[in-house]
């Protein structure tokens, strides 16, 4: 288990993490989400003892990471796939990590097979693609068979087969009872694999709930309906208090209702329909709604400019 309590981290005048508290429980994949600069990587670095907090603490199974004599047996992490020495082979890199933590040499071959490095383990790391570096970093995280795992953007550089593989691996690790924290910008992947989501912005906690709760609370149901008589349909819906917007000349979008209810109302108004469907907002939609006021830079036609706290320009 990972426990973050009142964590604050400053770099000079920059407040990277601001009084952050959350737990990452075993047996679940916890997605760690937030805009660029939200403080995700800083939080992970503090958990791993790479940065010292300004105040508060981040504990692994109730202890500081620096208190572990053989840390790779307790915690595995992938933060920077480019951190390995480029002149070593993948196998040599893993052997050094194993030897430093009292891990049997046979474990090196086991993790090489598990992550699919195969013959590439004999090659020097400087010749690895980003996807191969990611696999090597994951192998290093797994080498001590730890109960707690942290992955920062593990899907970067992986092809479709690799993405499907990491998705299955994360699920398997959690099903084995391990604590798994994953930071990613690929929200479609998080929607598929994360049991719980911790969302932060500007270093502060925005949401901490199950994926279903976040989608249920913010991923509202919409109904798309097309009709040759949309004006009459629009008036009828609004008379009944429904929130409805025009999408185009013939299509309407109705909020927080069901296709069955829209069909019933259209029948009551004696309006023919050409199309009727329910659309539930995705995790991406919910995420944008949650973090809209926490994004440091917004895209636009010209150069991006900082957005002040509170979202005001």
CATH number at residue 26: 3.40.50.300
For 77, the token pair is: 């992490």
Same domain, residue pair 237 and 120? no
Answer yes or no: do 239 and 200 share one domain: no
Q: What is the pLDDT of residue 311?
A: 38
What share of residues in the chain are helix, strand, coil (percent, to 5)?
Answer: 40, 25, 35
Q: Are 203 and 254 members of one domain? A: no
| Cα four-point dihedral sign 169, 174, 176, 179 | positive
Average pLDDT over residues 266-279: 90
What residue numbers bound the domain in which 84 lies?
2-210
Q: What is the pLDDT of residue 303?
A: 41
b/e per residue, 119-155, with b = 16+ CB within 10 A? ebbeeebeebeebbbbbbbbbbbbbbebbbbbbbbbb
pLDDT bin (cut points 50, 70, 90) of residue 307 is very low
N-terminal to C-terminal alpha carbon distance within the chain:
40
Same domain, 184 and 79: yes
**Does the residue 292 lie in any domain?**
no
**Does residue 216 lie in a domain region?**
no
Share of the chain above pLDDT 90, in %: 66
Would 76 be classed as within a structural domain? Answer: yes
Say if residues 246 and 304 touch (Cβ distance below 8 Å).
no
Q: Model confidence over 219-263: pLDDT tens digits? A: 467 889 999 999 999 998 898 888 898 989 999 989 878 889 999
Query: The CATH number of the domain where 254 resides is what?
Result: 3.30.70.100
Same domain, 145 and 23: yes
- Whether residue 91 is contained in a domain is answered as yes
310 lies in some domain? no
Q: 240 and 91 in one domain?
A: no
Q: Are residues 83 and 166 in the same domain?
A: yes
Q: Which residue has the higher pLDDT, 47 or 218?
A: 47
User: What is the secondary structure of 86-104 as a DSSP string?
Assistant: TTSBHHHHHHHHHHHTT--
Give the chain's domain count: 2
Tell me the percentage of the chain whose pLDDT exceeds 70.
90
- Given a cut of 70, whether residue 306 has pLDDT beyond it is no
Look up the pTM and report it.
Answer: 0.77
161 lies in the same domain as 257 = no
Same domain, 243 and 176: no
Instruction: Give the model's pLDDT for residue 189.
Output: 85
- Between 156 and 228, residue with greater pLDDT: 228
* Residues 251 and 157 placed together within one structural domain of the fold: no
Residues 107 and 238 in one domain: no
Query: Do both 141 and 239 map to the same domain?
Result: no
């Amino acid at each position: 288990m990972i426990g973050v309590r009142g964590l604050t981290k400053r770099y000079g005048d920059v407040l990277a993490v601001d009084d952050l508290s959350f737990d990452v429980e075993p047996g679940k994949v916890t997605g760690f989400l937030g805009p660029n600069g939200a403080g995700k990587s800083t939080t992970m670095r503090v958990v791993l003892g790479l940065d010292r907090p300004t105040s508060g603490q981040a504990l692994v199974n109730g202890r500081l990471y620096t208190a572990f004599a053989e840390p790779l047996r307790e915690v595995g992490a992938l933060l920077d796939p480019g951190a390995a020495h480029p002149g070593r082979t993948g196998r040599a890199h893993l052997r050094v990590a194993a030897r430093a933590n009292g891990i049997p040499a046979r474990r090196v071959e086991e993790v090489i097979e598990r992550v699919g490095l195969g013959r590439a383990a004999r090659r020097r790391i400087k010749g690895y693609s980003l996807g191969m570096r990611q696999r090597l970093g994951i192998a290093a995280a797994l080498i001590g068979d730890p109960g707690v795992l942290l992955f920062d953007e593990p899907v970067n550089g992986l092809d479709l087969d690799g993405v499907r593989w990491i998705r299955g691996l994360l699920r398997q690790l959690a099903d084995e009872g391990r604590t798994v924290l994953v930071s990613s910008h690929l929200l479609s992947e998080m929607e598929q694999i994360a049991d719980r989501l911790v969302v932060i912005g500007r270093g502060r906690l925005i949401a901490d709930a199950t994926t279903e709760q976040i989608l249920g609370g913010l991923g509202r149901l919409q109904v798309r309906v097309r009709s040759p008589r949309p004006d009459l349909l629009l008036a009828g819906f609004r008379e009944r208090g429904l929130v409805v917007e025009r999408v185009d000349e013939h299509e309407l979008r109705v909020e927080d209702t069901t296709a069955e209810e829209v069909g019933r109302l259209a029948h009551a108004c004696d309006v023919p329909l050409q199309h009727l469907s329910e659309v539930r907002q995705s995790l991406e939609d919910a995420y944008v709604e949650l973090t809209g006021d926490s994004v440091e830079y917004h895209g636009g036609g010209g150069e991006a400019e900082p957005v002040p706290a509170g979202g005001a320009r």
